Amino acid sequence: MSENKDTILVEILQGTQAVTGGCNCSGGCPSAASCGTTSNYEDMTMEMASELKKAYGDKVEVKYVDVDKEGLDNYPIMNRVLQMGYPYPITLINGDPKFAGGIMISEVKQSIADLFKDELAN
């Protein structure tokens, strides 16, 4: 979670595993064209961070996590997500898994917009 509870935290978790199902770049996800190779997921995360910063300023924080280096201790829900066969990268928004198999900037932006709408409605 973000240290500032008024900030939405977007985390891109990347690691190694066999792809066994879920959304992948063969056309299974809504924006398969925005999927990338493992080597450029960190760059794509930075690109997404830049776009989200332009759209939302400091209200959104983006973090890239290499789980092969950092582990999954801080992400207990990921065990279930991975057991279900969803491929990396996994996008979490405020700790909730939202997307798998690619960096989906437009879908993340829509999810964030929905969160802000919900916040204004309450």
Please give the CATH topology (third level) of the domain spanning 8-121.
Answer: Glutaredoxin (3.40.30)
pLDDT of residue 45: 96
pLDDT in tens, 37-94: 555 899 999 999 999 999 999 999 999 999 999 999 999 999 899 999 999 999 999 9
> Domain spans of the chain?
8-121
pTM beyond 0.85: the answer is no
pLDDT of residue 116: 87
pLDDT of residue 31: 41
27: CB partners within 8 A, 6+ apart: none
Q: Is a pLDDT exceeding 70 seen at residue 21?
A: no
Output the CA–CA distances (angstroms, integers) from residue 102 to 5, 27, 32, 58, 99, in the order listed.
Answer: 26, 11, 7, 24, 8
Q: Is a pLDDT exceeding 70 seen at residue 3?
A: no
pLDDT of residue 17: 58
Q: Is a pLDDT exceeding 90 seen at residue 30?
A: no
Helix (H, G, I), strand (E, B) or coil at 28: coil
Q: Is a pLDDT exceeding 50 seen at residue 23?
A: no
User: In which band, very low, low, confident or very high, does the pLDDT at 5 lie, cut at 50, 70 and 90?
Assistant: low
